[in-house]
């Protein structure tokens, strides 16, 4: 992200709480080994559903990651995952408070929006629900006494942004993007732009979400977006496979610390990667209703914008970390867009899909895949991980899908795609950086 | 130093309930909108703004109100239909949306009805819910309630294929939507952005406390506006760091729309001296040519 007059932006810290591990190294090891994070979900009964697997974060102890346990009472499980990932990223960056103007510190979060816990509200509502309406008088008389008084604060859509800003002491640029699957990568891209255009010097950016919610799963299952196979099959998520049937729900959070290159070098920070380009696009025209609104045009436009901002030709890419949702529609759109962007080169650029191993973390997936892509840029990294469960690659897609085992070697330039079910699409280009 | 492009406002639109006036959302309003009892729009007919009944059916009331304000602002800017954008020389891939939403909880009335009906003693029974949901709830309800669906609907109405932002940071979200649109244009990532913010008591829990209101602005690169000889309502300048405060008198009643309506109210005062100043955002009369956004030197001494 260094066109004329703009500053260079680098990644100096990463934190992740995911089905594939609780830190970037663990994530990279899981990806290299093709070890799936998809399986039975311990904290939620999926018995009534046809598919009973999910990408859950196992053995999550928030006390290991969040410095102030008193704040737990304000956090749902998914919020804890987000805050834990953000605090891990800040700690890993080695950044210390006090050295920066707080107004030059930014925080950006891709979030699911409303964060409240339904079950905490139900006893109070039961006391005050009259003919389909909330009766405020009855709620005041009987409902409030049985409702968690912190419910409202816990439900705020920007609560992770609050905790991240608090940890950082950030008083500058901030945003809470409610963009579903595209939100997390948008936070990173816009954070990088804020630094590149001199609106901030350092930003903590990422996303979190959990799709492991019974009511949501009921809706998604009947919408045909979820894998509907019965049992507890860890091979359910099959992006780009001929027999792909939908996504597997997951949960998690992933954040990075972004810095202006000179700022990072001045404090001796370890530099993992450089953000080279970012692109956003929208379908702008109707897609097949309810199959998800992803579109070839939006994927293609976002990728071209990101490559343009990075001043790269598509043939210079070493790998694409695809959105790879695993629904027939989304994968077809994305594959077409990759072919449009890469033309004849499309058959030679390795394409991988992390969701085959992690499941769909919605706003948490983009940042998770950014951290996976950072791994591929390291000399001792996992290379380009293989797409799990892609036994019969869809012959119509015409891509170089990484299958079987990870593609070894250090990448120099990689592209990451993310999209929302509403069709909003974001692409990010990362590069390695010379010592 | 990177030069940022000048940004102007070329369209505005708003919908307010009876008895509430735009000036009451002005930061210095003497009778602020927050003092008014929550009310809904009167005689609101979504079909006046969105003609396609299939599209209307996919929208809840909140998204219909948001779309209506955006349509008003786009009409004010001279765009009735998607083809008007291309006719005016705009590339759809460089036209986008920035939307402020507040607490888009999926707790709609019929969903809450179902949840409560299958939660005896306050304990949620998933099997019972599944049975009720199968008969009473639409399977696609979660897709239609995605937070960024309002932006998607506006994009579809006008064929906007550029950047799309949906923000939810409570009462600051309206200002932040303008900020995102501003920087998208100033940074040459877009030429036109529709900013909108809306509140409607779609969320059953907020029905008793929310003012139904919506506001929208069309922001455009000054060069694009001049090229199509558009009427320019004001020039905009955003501060680089843009603090996250909301200056807004009506924001308690209309959490998402309040701050955008404050900008609209300030816009009505344009032409006065000094320029209208809101936290992080300044509005200048269109005739002023003295202001540029070419220098973004960090402010000092505030650590």
Residue A286: predicted pLDDT: 65
- Chain B residues whose beta carbon lies within 8 Å of the beta carbon of residue A4: 2
Which of B294, B265, B301, B267 shows the shortest CA–CA distance to B31?
B265
Q: Is residue A2 part of a domain?
A: no
Residue B208: predicted pLDDT: 59
For A214, the closest of B126, B170, B303 (CB atoms) is B126
- Chain A residues whose beta carbon lies within 8 Å of the beta carbon of residue B207: 133-134
Query: Crossing angle, helix B257-268 and helix B173-186, to 10 degrees?
Result: 70
Q: Say if the Cβ atoms of A122 and B58 lie within 8 Å.
A: no
Q: Is residue B41 part of a domain?
A: yes
Sequence-ordered list of residues with C-beta below 8 angstroms from that of A365, at least 6 positions apart, any chain: A181, A184, A207, A250, A252, A354, A355, A358, A418
Query: Helix or strand or coil: residue B29?
Result: coil
Find the closest chain B residue to A301 by CA distance. Answer: B93
pLDDT in tens, A312-342: 998 899 999 999 999 999 999 999 999 999 9
Residue A341: predicted pLDDT: 93
B259 and B199 co-located in one domain? yes
Note whether A171 contacts B: Cβ–Cβ < 8 A: yes
Q: Say if the Cβ atoms of B240 and A161 lie within 8 Å.
A: no
A83 and A128 co-located in one domain? no
B100 and B247 co-located in one domain? yes
A128: containing domain: 118-154
Q: Considering only residues 4 to 23 of chain A, which have any Cβ-Cβ distance to chain B shorter than 8 Å? A: 4-6
Confidence of residue B301 (pLDDT cuts 50, 70, 90): very low
A174 and A214 co-located in one domain? yes
pLDDT in tens, B65-104: 999 999 999 999 999 988 899 999 999 999 999 999 866 5
- Chain B residues whose beta carbon lies within 8 Å of the beta carbon of residue A155: 103, 105
Q: Say if the Cβ atoms of A284 and B115 lie within 8 Å.
A: no
A413 and A316 co-located in one domain? yes
Q: Is residue A1 part of a domain?
A: no
Q: Which domain-ending residue is among A154, A181, A202? A: A154
- Chain A residues whose beta carbon lies within 8 Å of the beta carbon of residue B99: none
Residue B293: predicted pLDDT: 37
**Token pair for residue A233?**
């099959």
B246 and B150 co-located in one domain? yes
Going by their DSSP bridges, the two strands B281-284 and A9-17 should be labelled as unpaired
B133: containing domain: 109-144
Find the closest chain A residue to B150 by CA distance. Answer: A422
Q: Which of B102, B157, B207, B303 is the best mutation test for A, with the most CBs of A within 10 A?
A: B303
Taking a C-beta distance cutoff of 8 angstroms, is the pair B213, B16 a contact? yes
Residue A221: predicted pLDDT: 84
Residue B303, pLDDT above cutoff 60: no
- Chain B residues whose beta carbon lies within 8 Å of the beta carbon of residue A281: 93, 161-164
pLDDT in tens, B126-140: 888 888 887 888 777
Residue B297: predicted pLDDT: 37
Note whether B5 contacts A: Cβ–Cβ < 8 A: no
Q: Considering only residues 184 to 213 of chain A, which have any Cβ-Cβ distance to chain B shorter than 8 Å? A: 186, 190, 193, 197-201
Find the closest chain A residue to B94 by CA distance. Answer: A281
Chain A: give the shortest CA distance to residue B181, in Å: 12
Q: Considering only residues 236 to 295 of chain B, which have any Cβ-Cβ distance to chain A shorter than 8 Å? A: 240-244
B96 and B125 co-located in one domain? no
B213 and B89 co-located in one domain? yes
Q: Which domain-ending residue is among A131, A154, A177? A: A154
Which segment of A188-202, B35-49, B161-175 scores lowest on mean pLDDT?
Answer: B35-49
Phi-psi group of A224: left, alpha or beta (phi > 0 → left; psi -120 to 50 → alpha; rest → beta): left
ipTM of the complex: 0.91
B174 and B268 co-located in one domain? yes
Taking a C-beta distance cutoff of 8 angstroms, is the pair A55, A36 a contact? no
Q: Is residue B294 part of a domain?
A: no
Q: Residue written as tokens 């004010």?
A: B76
Q: Which of A155, A175, A281 is the best mutation test for B, with the most CBs of B within 10 A?
A: A175
Most confident of A70-84, A275-289, B47-61, B229-243: A70-84
Which of residues A303 and B248 earns the better pLDDT score?
A303
Q: Is residue A3 part of a domain?
A: no
pLDDT in tens, A122-169: 888 778 877 767 787 888 888 888 888 888 888 888 999 999 999 999
Residue B178, pLDDT above cutoff 70: yes
**Token pair for residue A237?**
């998520």
Averaged pLDDT for residues A57-83: 94
B49 and B69 co-located in one domain? yes
Residue A280: predicted pLDDT: 96
A303 and A403 co-located in one domain? yes
Note whether A145 contacts B: Cβ–Cβ < 8 A: no
Confidence of residue A61 (pLDDT cuts 50, 70, 90): very high
Q: Say if the Cβ atoms of B151 and A422 lie within 8 Å.
A: yes
Q: Say if the Cβ atoms of B2 and A5 lie within 8 Å.
A: yes
Residue by residue, DSSP assigns A149-202 as TTHHHHH-TTHHHHHHHHHHT--S-EEEE--GGGHHHHHHHHHHHHHHTTS-SE
A277 and A227 co-located in one domain? yes
B279 and B234 co-located in one domain? yes
Residue B154: predicted pLDDT: 92
A93 and A224 co-located in one domain? yes
Calculate the alpha carbon distances from A66 to A233, A412, B76 in Å. Answer: 33, 34, 50
CA geometry: angle A105, A110, A114, nearest 5 deg:
115
Q: Is residue B194 part of a domain?
A: yes
B55 and B185 co-located in one domain? yes
Residue A71: predicted pLDDT: 92
- Chain A residues whose beta carbon lies within 8 Å of the beta carbon of residue B148: 178-180, 182, 420, 422, 424
A211 and A313 co-located in one domain? yes
- Chain A residues whose beta carbon lies within 8 Å of the beta carbon of residue B187: 193, 197
Chain A: give the shortest CA distance to residue B228, in Å: 22
A84 and A130 co-located in one domain? no
CATH of the domain at B200: 3.40.47.10
Find the closest chain A residue to B209 by CA distance. Answer: A136
Q: Is residue B289 part of a domain?
A: no
Confidence of residue A287 (pLDDT cuts 50, 70, 90): low
B36 and B127 co-located in one domain? no
For A113, the closest of B126, B134, B147 (CB atoms) is B147
Q: Say if the Cβ atoms of A198 and B113 lie within 8 Å.
A: no
Chain A: give the shortest CA distance to residue B196, in Å: 15
- Chain B residues whose beta carbon lies within 8 Å of the beta carbon of residue A175: 167, 169, 176, 180
pLDDT in tens, B191-244: 999 999 988 776 656 655 667 889 999 999 999 999 999 999 999 988 766 554
CATH of the domain at A375: 3.40.47.10
Mean pLDDT of chain A: 91
A146 and A190 co-located in one domain? no
Residue B260, pLDDT above cutoff 80: yes
Q: Residue written as tokens 């990451």?
A: A416
A205 and A269 co-located in one domain? yes
Confidence of residue A50 (pLDDT cuts 50, 70, 90): confident
Note whether A325 contacts B: Cβ–Cβ < 8 A: no
Q: Considering only residues 122 to 161 of chain B, which have any Cβ-Cβ distance to chain A shorter than 8 Å? A: 122-124, 126-127, 129-130, 133-134, 137, 139-143, 146-149, 151-152, 155-156, 159-161
B220 and B158 co-located in one domain? yes
* Per-residue three-class SS string for A228-271: CCCECCCCCCCCCECCCCCECEEEEEEEEEEEEHHHHHHCCCCC
Distance CA B121, CA B81 (A): 52
Residue B105: predicted pLDDT: 57
Which of residues B144 and A410 earns the better pLDDT score?
A410
Question: How many domains is chain A partitioned into structurally?
Answer: 2
Distance CA A35, CA A32 (A): 8
Question: How many domains is chain B partitioned into structurally?
Answer: 2
Confidence of residue B302 (pLDDT cuts 50, 70, 90): very low
A129 and A255 co-located in one domain? no
Query: Helix or strand or coil: residue B96?
Result: strand
A102 and A177 co-located in one domain? yes
CA geometry: angle A339, A343, A347, nearest 5 deg:
70
Could you tell me the sign of the dihedral formed by the alpha carbons of B52, B58, B62, B67, in that order?
negative
Q: Is residue A401 part of a domain?
A: yes
Which segment of A140-154, A193-207, A228-242, B266-280 scores lowest on mean pLDDT?
Answer: B266-280
B220 and B122 co-located in one domain? no
Note whether A129 contacts B: Cβ–Cβ < 8 A: yes
- Chain B residues whose beta carbon lies within 8 Å of the beta carbon of residue A288: none
Residue B299: predicted pLDDT: 36
Find the closest chain A residue to B112 by CA distance. Answer: A132
């Amino acid at each position: 992200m260094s066109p004329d007059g703009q500053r260079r932006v680098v990644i100096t810290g990463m934190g992740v709480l995911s089905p594939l591990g609780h830190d970037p190294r663990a994530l990279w090891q899981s990806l290299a080994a093709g070890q799936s994070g998809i399986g039975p979900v311990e904290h939620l009964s999926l018995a009534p559903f046809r598919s009973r697997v999910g990408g859950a974060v196992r053995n999550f102890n928030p006390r290991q990651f969040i410095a102030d346990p008193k704040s737990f009472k304000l956090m749902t499980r998914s919020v804890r995952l987000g805050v834990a990932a953000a605090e891990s990223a800040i700690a890993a960056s080695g950044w210390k408070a006090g050295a920066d103007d707080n107004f030059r510190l930014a925080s950006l979060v891709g979030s699911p929006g409303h964060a409240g816990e339904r079950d905490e509200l139900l006893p109070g509502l039961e006391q005050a629900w009259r003919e389909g309406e909330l009766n405020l008088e009855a709620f005041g008389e009987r409902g409030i006494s049985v409702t968690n008084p912190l419910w409202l604060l816990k439900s705020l859509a920007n609560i992770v942004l609050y905790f991240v800003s608090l940890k950082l002491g950030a008083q500058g640029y901030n945003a809470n993007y409610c963009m579903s699957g595209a939100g997390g990568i948008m936070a990173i891209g816009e954070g990088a732009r804020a630094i590149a255009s001199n609106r901030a010097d350092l930003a903590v950016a990422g996303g979190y979400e959990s799709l492991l919610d019974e009511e949501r799963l009921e809706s998604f299952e009947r919408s045909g977006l979820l894998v509907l196979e019965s049992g507890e099959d860890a091979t359910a998520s099959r992006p780009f496979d001929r027999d792909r049937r939908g996504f597997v729900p997951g949960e998690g959070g992933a954040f990075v610390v972004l810095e202006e290159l000179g700022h990072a070098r001045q404090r001796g920070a370890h530099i993992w990667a450089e953000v080279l380009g970012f692109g956003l696009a929208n379908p702008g025209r109707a897609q097949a209703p309810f199959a998800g609104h992803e579109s070839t045009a939006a994927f293609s436009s976002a990728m071209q914008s990101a490559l343009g901002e990075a001043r790269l030709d598509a043939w210079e890419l070493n790998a694409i970390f695809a959105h790879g949702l695993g629904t027939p529609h989304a994968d077809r759109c994305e594959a077409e867009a990759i072919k449009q962007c890469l033309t004849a080169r499309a058959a030679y650029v390795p394409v991988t899909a992390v969701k085959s191993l992690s499941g769909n973390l919605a706003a948490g997936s983009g940042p998770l895949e950014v951290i996976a892509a950072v791994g591929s840029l390291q000399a001792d990294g996992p290379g380009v991980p293989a797409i799990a469960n892609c036994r019969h690659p869809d012959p119509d897609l015409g891509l170089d899908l990484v299958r079987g085992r990870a593609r070894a070697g250090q990448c120099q330039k990689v592209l990451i795609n993310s999209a929302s079910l509403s069709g909003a699409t974001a692409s990010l280009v990362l590069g390695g950086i010379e010592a | 130093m990177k030069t940022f492009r000048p940004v102007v406002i070329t369209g505005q639109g708003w919908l307010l309930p009876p008895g509430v006036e735009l000036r009451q959302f002005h930061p210095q309003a003497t009778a602020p909108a927050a003092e008014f009892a929550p009310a809904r729009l009167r005689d609101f007919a979504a079909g006046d703004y969105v003609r396609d009944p299939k599209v209307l059916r996919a929208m809840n009331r909140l998204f219909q109100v948001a779309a209506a304000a955006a349509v008003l602002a786009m009409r004010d800017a001279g765009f009735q239909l998607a083809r008007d954008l291309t006719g005016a020389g705009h590339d759809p891939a460089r036209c986008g949306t920035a939307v402020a939403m507040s607490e888009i909880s999926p707790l709609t009335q019929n969903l809450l009805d179902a949840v409560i009906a299958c939660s005896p003693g306050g304990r949620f029974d998933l099997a019972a819910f599944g049975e009720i949901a199968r008969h009473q709830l639409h399977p696609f309800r979660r897709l239609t309630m995605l937070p960024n669906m309002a932006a998607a609907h506006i994009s579809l109405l006008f064929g906007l294929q550029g950047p799309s932002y949906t923000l939810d940071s409570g009462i600051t979200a309206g200002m932040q939507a303008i900020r995102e649109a501003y920087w998208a244009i100033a940074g040459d990532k877009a030429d036109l952005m529709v900013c909108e913010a809306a509140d409607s008591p779609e969320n059953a829990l907020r029905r008793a406390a929310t003012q139904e209101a919506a506001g929208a602005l069309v922001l455009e690169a000054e060069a694009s506006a001049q090229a199509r000889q558009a009427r320019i309502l004001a020039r905009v300048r955003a501060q680089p760091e843009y603090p996250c405060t909301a200056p807004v008198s009506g924001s308690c009643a209309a959490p998402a729309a309040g701050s955008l309506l404050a900008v609209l109210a300030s816009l009505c005062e344009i032409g006065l001296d000094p320029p209208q100043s809101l936290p992080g955002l300044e509005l200048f009369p269109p005739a002023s040519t003295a202001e540029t956004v070419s220098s973004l030197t960090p402010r000092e001494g505030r650590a």
